[in-house]
């Protein structure tokens, strides 16, 4: 029970650093999967630009699979942490078991899409036969063997909810290392392995994800002793599932809206494959930076949720304060890196004809990281304090209500060359600033209604 005692007694600023660093590393490594794939396929001897474009087109579906897995995990994380904070180990076992049942359902849906829906999806974004073939091959493999990323996401959150974030990071590191080692071997054909190109990148990715999931399953069974394990706890419980998704559904929608936004951007930029590819490459860099905020959010949520279960006003307030301070520091670092080294990232991906568009996107959109990070921290705070609606509203503002009309308006000028495309990039900082102002209003409301009333 030492981990639960740590969640209860350790000063929040130290606890958040101790839990946050492994989670930040874990999320950063998760973003590495796509960056590594793009870097290696961008340097293929034949068809590298088509391959980069193909990976850009498949990215929204990859994000969607991760969204559903992580969103379900976020709901499990907050509910499990709160339940343990209340000392209810019997319900905690049901929460963990039902999350794994949900993982099976999610995988079946991904499998069916991988078999029947991939070609129609890719063909909606491109008419290039080479890009279509590469995109279908890559995405089909990722969907059919998606159980790795789905169950990794769930076991990761089960370990984080009990304060064992270090072990989830170990699993993530193992998966990332496996992916990085296998990428050049399977893409280029090194040693006895045949040259597989884009298919090799897909296989390297899913093998790394499966390795992470298996390792975290072992850690979960061996280390999470605060509650019982067993197939009987996987029996669907409508009440528990409802509670998981009351918290997790906004997180799923938030991530799903990101997928929709990238898909819409791909459609808008369809007339210019170079700009389309540039946005896809930049998004992977952006995801790497914002995943630092997501990692810290995954420390903020269980810490505040546990404190809320304890009804400790001081620990909740400390969680909010330090969560925002640390997030701002991380995002300032992210802005500095992306503003100083855009050319280095373009060279890493061998961006080719997309280089100027890519550098322009990085220079402009990176300005939004500070406000985007604060919005992500807000959502972690809301989720911990039963503020699912507020979290959902922020997601809708950031990914749909504000950004899509702005992009649509700015896209009217998009055919005026690079200047028109650069105008689209400015929609992102504008959106994040507006959403951040709304988020601050929500935070004041939640602190007044949920925290100030505790005794």
Q: What is the pLDDT of residues 173-205, one digit of tens each?
A: 898 889 989 999 999 999 999 999 999 999 999
List all residues 6 or more positions away from 403 whose beta carbon is below 8 Å from its beta carbon. 261, 427, 428, 431
31 band by pLDDT with thresholds 50, 70 and 90: confident
DSSP annotation of 195? P
DSSP 269: G
Predicted pLDDT at 1? 47
Contact present, 155 and 217 (Cβ < 8 Å): yes
pLDDT score of 419 more than 80: no
Given a contact cutoff of 8 angstroms between Cβ atoms, the answer to whether 326 and 62 are in contact is no
What would the mean pLDDT of 346-358 be, rounded to a whole number? 87
The Cα 250–Cα 188 span in angstroms is 41
Question: Is 450 a residue whose pLDDT tops 90?
Answer: no
- Length of the chain in residues, anyone? 455
Please tell me what DSSP assigns to residue 128. -
- Cα–Cα distance for residue pair 302/383, rounded to 1 Å: 9
- Tell whether the model's pLDDT for residue 248 goes beyond 90: no
Beta carbons within 8 Å of 431's beta carbon, 6+ residues apart: 368, 397, 398, 402, 403, 406
Closest CA to 72 of 103, 97, 93, 51: 103
Query: Taking 70 as the threshold, does the pLDDT of residue 138 lie above it?
Result: yes
Q: What is the pTM of this model?
A: 0.76
């Amino acid at each position: 029970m030492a981990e639960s005692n740590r969640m209860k007694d350790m000063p929040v600023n130290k606890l958040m650093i101790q839990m946050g660093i492994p989670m930040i590393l874990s999320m950063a490594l998760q973003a590495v999967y796509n960056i590594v794939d793009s870097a290696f396929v961008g340097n293929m001897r034949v068809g590298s630009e088509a391959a980069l474009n193909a990976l850009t087109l498949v990215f929204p579906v990859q994000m969607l699979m991760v969204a559903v897995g992580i969103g379900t995990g976020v709901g499990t994380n907050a509910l499990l942490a709160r339940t343990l904070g209340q000392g209810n180990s019997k319900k905690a076992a049901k929460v963990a078991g039902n999350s794994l049942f949900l993982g099976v359902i999610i995988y079946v849906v991904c499998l069916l899409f991988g078999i029947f829906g991939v070609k129609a999806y890719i063909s909606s974004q491109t008419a290039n036969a080479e890009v279509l073939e590469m995109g279908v091959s890559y995405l089909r493999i990722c969907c059919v063997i998606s159980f790795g990323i789905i169950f990794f996401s769930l076991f990761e959150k089960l370990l984080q909810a009990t304060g064992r974030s270090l072990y989830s990071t170990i699993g993530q590191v193992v998966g990332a290392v496996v992916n990085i080692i296998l990428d050049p071997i399977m893409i280029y054909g090194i040693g006895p392995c045949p040259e597989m190109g884009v298919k090799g990148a897909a296989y390297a990715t899913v093998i790394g994800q499966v390795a992470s999931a298996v390792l975290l399953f072992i850690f979960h069974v061996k280390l999470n002793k605060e509650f019982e394990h067993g197939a009987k706890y996987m029996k669907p419980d409508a009440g528990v599932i409802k509670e998981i998704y009351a918290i997790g559904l906004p997180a799923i929608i938030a991530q799903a809206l990101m997928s929709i936004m990238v898909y819409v951007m791909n459609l808008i930029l369809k007339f210019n494959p170079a700009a389309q590819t540039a946005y896809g490459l930049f998004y992977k860099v952006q995801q790497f930076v914002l995943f630092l905020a997501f990692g810290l959010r995954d420390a903020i949520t269980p810490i505040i949720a546990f404190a809320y279960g304890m009804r400790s006003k001081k620990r909740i307030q400390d969680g909010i304060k330090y969560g925002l301070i640390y997030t701002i520091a991380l995002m300032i670092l992210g802005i500095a890196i992306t503003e100083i080294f855009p050319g280095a990232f373009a060279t890493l991906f061998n961006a080719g004809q997309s280089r100027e568009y890519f550098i322009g996107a990085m220079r402009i959109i990176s300005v939004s990281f500070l406000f985007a990070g604060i919005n992500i921290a807000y959502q972690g705070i809301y989720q911990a304090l039963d503020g699912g609606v507020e979290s959902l509203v922020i997601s809708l503002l950031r990914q749909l209500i504000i950004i899509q009309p702005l992009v649509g308006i700015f896209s009217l000028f998009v055919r005026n060359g690079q200047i028109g495309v650069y105008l689209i990039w400015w929609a992102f900082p504008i959106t994040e600033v507006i959403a951040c102002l709304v988020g601050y209003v929500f935070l004041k409301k939640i602190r007044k209604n949920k925290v100030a009333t505790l005794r």
